[in-house]
Amino acid sequence: MLVNDSSLQWEAAQSIALEACQYATKHNLRVCVWVLDRHGNPLAMQRINNTPLPSTEIAKGKAYTAVSFGFGTHLWQERLAEKRYLLDGLNAQEGIVMFGGGLPITYQGEIVGAIGVSGASEEQDRACAEAGLKALSA
């Protein structure tokens, strides 16, 4: 038996990362952006000069978390508010980042990748990620 598998193309990933960085630049933000395919493999990474160095790995972790679980990283605190032990356990897993800035990328209802942004506030990171996703509809 075979599985049909749709994923984001590298050209689209580059456009998404560029759009997120252009939004960040327009708002005077320094961020790092990662775009991963549906399996968590890197397709694009863009880092604006002078972005804090830890933002590179944090952005990758946000994208990895979003593609792994299929929802935005900003939703974790709310979803697990009553289950602190689970939140703590997941936070201890390598590569998992559970705060705003990671979003899954969907096409026709299927997850095809994810974007992660880090370097600004959670809200600003998320806004950059959302701006990046607009590249798909352009």
pLDDT score at 91 = 83
CB neighbours of residue 34 within 10 Å: 28
Give one word for 67, left, alpha or beta, with left for phi > 0 and alpha for psi -120 to 50: alpha
Q: Tokens for 31, please give them.
A: 């961020």
C-alpha dihedral (43, 61, 45, 52), degrees to nearest 10: -170
pLDDT score at 138 = 67
Mean pLDDT on 74-99: 88
How do the domains of the chain map onto residue ranges? 10-137
Amino acid at 67: V
pLDDT score at 126 = 98
Question: What's the CATH number of domain 10-137, 3.30.500.10, 3.30.450.150, 3.50.50.100, 3.20.20.120?
Answer: 3.30.450.150
pLDDT score at 16 = 98
pTM to 2 decimal places: 0.93
Q: How confident is the model at residue 18 (pLDDT cuts 50, 70, 90)?
A: very high
pLDDT tens readout for residues 29-79:
999 999 999 999 999 999 999 999 999 999 999 999 999 999 999 999 888
